[in-house]
Amino acid sequence: MAEHDIPRATAKRLPIYYRYLNLLLDSGKTRVSSNELAEAVKFDAATIRRDFSYFGALGKRGYGYDVEALMNFFGRILDQDTLASVALIGVGNLGQALLNFNFHQSSNARISAAFDINEDIINTIQAGVPVYSMGDLEDQITAQRIEVAIVTVPSVAAQDLADRLAKAGIKGILNFTPLRLDVPASVRVQNVDLTNELQTLLYFINNVDLANE
């Protein structure tokens, strides 16, 4: 099965499997069963077996999966060997935090360029990342072969920015604004609305409290 045919839910679990297999390998473990994996990553064993079957990785009965083989295989799919350069636009509170974080747990992605309109931070280095003016956006995306952009500008600026990013050939946007972006089919948008996540959590907590009363 080609990589683009993998169900989205499965693709989202891949990095989690990959990270755990990495830990297992570091601790010297050579094989793992779907039940052990299930325990560790908190997906049920049937889901894991189904996910793995999409890749033709079939565990042997009574043996489980070979940790190193599985890890190398997933690593290739996740493209761990190539370091993806990511742009961050909007170095405000959230943008600044993400620059500091810089996805250390993931070895295949790094924010390599940040952009802002604020003259005070343009041409400075923030958390090891150069901040460029918005005028440099297209040139840097091309020069650094950037395919993914993190958007942490105010909502009012997000759609114009998304249009520019799409034109510049960006393939994916991690959108931290509450605005739903309108983009061409060539661009994939992943929305991360932290306020919404917190509201959802509070909603569930309150409902559980009501049920227990």
Residue 169 annotated in ligand binding: no
Residue 94 CB, nearest distance to ligand ATP (Å)?
Answer: 3
Give the pairing of strands 148-151 and 172-175: parallel
Cβ-based nearer residue to ligand ATP, 41 or 94? 94
Q: Are 88 and 141 in contact (CB under 8 A)?
A: no
In the window 156-185, what residues touch ligand ATP (CB under 6 A)? Answer: 157
Q: Which residue is nearest to ligand ATP (CB)?
A: 92
Q: Are 110 and 98 in contact (CB under 8 A)?
A: no
- Note whether 41 binds ligand ATP by CB under 6 A: no
Residue 159 CA to residue 164 CA, distance in Å, equals 9
Residue 180 CA to residue 189 CA, distance in Å, equals 9
Q: How many CB atoms lie within 10 A of CB 117?
A: 14
- Note whether 135 binds ligand ATP by CB under 6 A: no
Tokens 């991360």 correspond to: 192
Residue 91 annotated in ligand binding: yes
- Note whether 116 binds ligand ATP by CB under 6 A: yes
Residue 65 backbone dihedrals phi, psi, to 5 degrees: -110, 145
Residues near ligand ATP (CB under 6 A), total:
16
Judged by CB under 6 A, which stretch of 14-22, 45-53, 153-161, 180-188 contacts ligand ATP? 153-161
Judged by CB under 6 A, which stretch of 23-31, 88-96, 166-174, 197-205 contacts ligand ATP? 88-96
- The H or E element spanning position 113 is strand 109-116
Binding residues for ligand ATP, per CB under 6 A?
89-95, 115-118, 134, 152-154, 157
